[in-house]
Amino acid sequence: MRRVVWLAVLLSLAGCGGGGGKPTATLSVACGEGTQLYGATSIEILGEVQNGHSQLVFPDPVNPGKTGTITVQPGDHCTITPAITTPK
C-alpha cells in the first residue's frame, strides 16, 4: 500500500511544471470490472474506511478545483497505472 502512495507522490512531482512541450505524468485507476478514471495528477488512498468501504480521492481531471472519489467495493482490487503524455 505504501508503494502505491509513493508512486503517486513521485508521479505528481514529475508532472509539476508540465507545459511547453514537456511530458506530464498522469494516473489511471481500474477497480473491479473496468477503468474508472483516466488522467488524475495524484491519488490519495484514505486509510479510514467510510461506510464500510475504502476510498480513493483525487483532483478531478475534468472539473478543475473539484475533488472526486472512487469507492472500492468489498473484494475488489484496484490497479493504479502511471502514464506519461507528451503534448504535441
DSSP state of 48: S
pLDDT band at 36 (very low <50, low <70, confident <90, very high): confident
Q: What is the value of pTM for the model shown? A: 0.62
Instruction: Work out the angle at residue 48's Cα, subtended by the Cα atoms of residues 46 and 51, and round it to the nearest 5 degrees.
Output: 105
Across the strands, what pairs with 34?
Answer: 31
* Total number of domains constituting the chain: 1
Q: Give the mean model confidence (pLDDT) for residues 56-74.
A: 89
Please tell me the least confidently modeled range out of 8-17, 22-31, 79-88: 8-17
- The whole domain housing 55 covers 2-85
Q: Is the pLDDT of residue 16 over 80?
A: no
Q: Give the mean model confidence (pLDDT) for residues 67-76.
A: 87
Q: Is the pLDDT of residue 4 over 60?
A: no
pLDDT at residue 43 in the model: 92
- Rounded distance between C-alpha atoms, residue 87 and residue 54, angstroms: 34
